[in-house]
Structure 1
Amino acid sequence: ENDLSAGHIAEQLGEDIEQVFKTLVLRGDKTGHFVCVVPGEDEVDLKKAAKISGNKKADLIPMKELLPTTGYIRGGCSPIGMKKPFPTYFHETCILFDYIYVSAGVRGLQLKINPDDLVKYVGATVCDLVSDK
């Protein structure tokens, strides 16, 4: 299965796409790597992400760096269990739901979890991270 899109995953799960979150790894110009977890249909706002993480500038890391940095491949990146703990930020809409879905660390496998529990477990900050529509 090559369709890794949040829309496809939501359809397979029979869930609202707003509850399917993707995990993105960024690099800030001051703090280094950090993680943003955003709704699958949204795009992370790089300026917002940089500011909230204490950077002036931030960019997504190149795909070739994902596995050596996190231990995960594209489409299977989870906010839980990375090679080392990185500062993690969840988009604020996660708290609107009783549960959300994030990658369980393998392509095609999702973890259904209470967002408050997940945020607490990974020591994340909840904030506005996505581009305005």
Structure 2
Amino acid sequence: MKQTKTNAIRLLEQHKKPYTLFSYPVSDGKIDGQSVAQKINKPEHVVYKTLVAQGKSGAIYVALIPVNEELHLKKLQKVTAEKKVNMLLAKQLHDVTNYVRGGCSPIGMKKPYPTFIDSQAAQLDAIVVNAGKVGLQMELRLSDLVEAANAQFADLTI
């Protein structure tokens, strides 16, 4: 079966960044990060979920954290210098990012948003993130992800 190319994949190929794709079944309805890590046989600390939040100013922020961790909104608030930050509603996700819940990649969103990767990732050589479609993950060099998403490291988890 031919793999459909997502914006994330197109962007990496355009910049000649190597990646490895992992597809997994979603027929069981489980798209939470821990289930995904299990399905692609990767340790949870290298599989990161992409979370999208909105500040009181209206600005959009992207946070990448390990699938077995929780985002600390006050830490994201601090790093973005916002008075308040809330998670974007699932129904708003597609309009803002061009991706859907469970298929949101930090690469190739509708617009470039300030992106923060939890500082735990700094010790990794490679990282696994969503490839832009439910049931599809990609592994790439951490340095390539930082470059492709124009990301910076920050302490984001509880």
Q: Same fold (TM over 0.5)?
A: yes
| 1:129 and 2:156 aligned | yes
**Greater mean alpha carbon deviation, residues 100-109 or residues 9-18:** 9-18
Task: State the partner residue of 1:92.
Answer: 119
Give the secondary-structure state (helix, strand or coil) at the position aligned to 2:70.
coil
Instruction: Give CA deviations for 1:11-36 in whole Å, capped at 9, x if unaligned.
Output: 12211101110001100113611100
Q: Is 1:57 aligned with 2:84?
A: yes
* Unaligned segments of structure 1, at least 5 residues: none
Query: Where does residue 43 of structure 1 map in the other structure?
Result: 70
Q: State how far apart, in whole Å, the 1-side matches of 2:133 and 2:148 are.
A: 19
Identity %: 37
Post-superposition CA distance 1:45-81 (Å, at most 9, x none): 0000011012011000111100011000000000001
SS of the counterpart of 1:81?
coil
TM-score (norm 1): 0.94
Question: When the two structures are aligned, how many residues end up with a matched partner?
Answer: 131
Per chain length, whose mean CA-contact separation is higher, i.e. which structure has more relative contact order (CA < 8 Å, sep 6+)? 2
- Counterpart of 2:147 (choices 115, 120, 126) is 120
Do structure 1's residue 82 and structure 2's residue 109 form an aligned pair? yes
Whether 1:23 and 2:50 are equivalent positions in the alignment is yes
Give the deviation of 1:121 after TM superposition. 2.0
Deviations 1:96-119 (A, max 9, x none): 112111000000100101112211
Would the alpha carbon gap of residues 115 and 31 (structure 1) be closer, same or farther in structure 2, given more than 3 Å must change? farther
User: Where do 5+ consecutive residues of structure 2 fail to align?
Assistant: 1-25
> In the alignment, residue 53 of structure 1 is paired with which amino acid?
T
Change in 2 beyond 3 A, CA 1:31/1:62: closer
- Greater radius of gyration (CA): 2
Give the secondary-structure state (helix, strand or coil) at the position aligned to 2:68: coil
Q: Cα RMSD over matched residues? A: 1.0
Q: Distance in 2 between matches of 1:122 and 1:128?
A: 17
Stretch moving more, 66-75 or 113-122: 113-122
Amino acid at match of 1:38: I
Indicate the SS of the match to 1:112. strand
